[in-house]
Amino acid sequence: MRPVGSHSYAEVLFWGCNPSFVNTGDGVVMIDSPQQPMDALRWREQLSQYGPIRYIINTEPHYDHTAGNMYFPGTEVVGHDGLRDRYDKLIPMFSSDFRLNRMKAGDPDSLWLFNHPDYPPNPPRRTFDEQLTLQVGNYTFNCLHVPGHTAQQIVVHVPQDGVIFTGDNVFHHVKTWCQEGDPWKWIAALDRIGELDFEILVPGHGETCGKAYLAEQADILRRWVEVVSEYVDKGMSEDEVAAQPIDFMRLIDPYRTAQRQWEMMDQANDHTLRNIYKKIAERKGLPAR
């Protein structure tokens, strides 16, 4: 676990996202939860030395940020209003064969916790639309709605420690996934994040970084839009564009999928390309094809 502020920590090497926490002096506030069940239990054990875990703040609805919530029974989950519905829709996935098989292949130590009755789903109970400020112990947590990577995306700014937890609005030197987000809103979100006062940025994936990386993240999104726009302007359909031999690493995003998602490199490119295609077509008022 890496110190990222005087009382703030991030774990950047797990399978999944970068779960983080702040030791407030009156218990712990977590930002996102470890994806793998065994990691989640070990994490809970470690954090218990700082007192009770008061909140889990989910930065987004995707599985890699929310699947671990259930291993913190009784801890109130906080997130955007839209997270409630998204979490409910994910519940079947938590006990799916897809997940079971990935666990068997990559994390057999966690198998005994799969569908364990002591750990039922833990959905968000405190949600907000634009902004929520939580005061816990010596710390203020400013949760801001900044749609980008998803429509429900939030960041958690902790001014006392000069740290911001951006979730997947920032992928630092790892592959950027934009499988459903709006790239233009995302770029605007990065501008807004840049206006906040912080020293350390904890991204959703990859190593911690600073404010300077926001520009590089925006450039990756701009290149996605540029490259796909050229094909859209030639009148090609989504499937035709998806079949093009595009050198994504040279033209758009030089980074690889991280944190045990390596086998999903092609999927990340395909899903992002298809989403960007749809968003560009929508913007140009073109019919779906």
Q: Which stretch binds Zn ion (CB under 5 A): 47-55, 61-69, 102-110, 252-260?
A: 61-69
| 204 is an interface residue for Zn ion by CB under 5 A | yes
| 11 is an interface residue for Zn ion by CB under 5 A | no
Considering only 10, 17, 146, 193, the residue that binds Zn ion (CB under 5 A) is: 17
In this structure, the strands spanning 124-128 and 76-80 are parallel
Amino acid, single-letter form, for residue 137: G
Which residues inside 90-109 make contact with Zn ion, applying CB under 5 A?
none
| 174 is an interface residue for Zn ion by CB under 5 A | no
Kind and range of the H or E element at 214? Answer: helix 213-233
- State which residue, 17 or 252, has the beta carbon closest to Zn ion: 17
Question: Closest Cα partner for 126 from 80, 167, 69?
Answer: 80
Give min distance, CB of 261 to Zn ion, in A: 9
How many whole angstroms separate alpha carbon 195 and alpha carbon 159?
Answer: 13
Question: Closest Cα partner for 139 from 153, 120, 109, 159?
Answer: 159
| 268 is an interface residue for Zn ion by CB under 5 A | no
**CB-CB contact of 189 with 123 (8 Å):** no
| 67 is an interface residue for Zn ion by CB under 5 A | no
Give min distance, CB of 12 to Zn ion, in A: 12
Question: Closest Cα partner for 35 from 260, 208, 203?
Answer: 260
| 147 is an interface residue for Zn ion by CB under 5 A | no
| 182 is an interface residue for Zn ion by CB under 5 A | no
- State which residue, 5 or 206, has the beta carbon closest to Zn ion: 206
Give min distance, CB of 8 to Zn ion, in A: 19
- State which residue, 112 or 262, has the beta carbon closest to Zn ion: 262
Considering only 39, 168, 182, 253, the residue that binds Zn ion (CB under 5 A) is: 168
- State which residue, 18 or 75, has the beta carbon closest to Zn ion: 18
Give min distance, CB of 205 to Zn ion, in A: 6
- State which residue, 17 or 170, has the beta carbon closest to Zn ion: 17
**CB-CB contact of 111 with 104 (8 Å):** yes
- State which residue, 23 or 272, has the beta carbon closest to Zn ion: 272
Residues 6+ apart with CB under 8 A from 89: none
- State which residue, 236 or 264, has the beta carbon closest to Zn ion: 264
- What one-character-per-residue DSSP string does 119-145 give? -----EEEEESSEEEEEETTEEEEEEE
Coil, helix or strand at residue 8: strand
Question: Closest Cα partner for 51 from 75, 31, 23?
Answer: 23
**CB-CB contact of 71 with 37 (8 Å):** yes
**Which residues form the interface with Zn ion (CB under 5 A)?**
17, 64, 168, 204
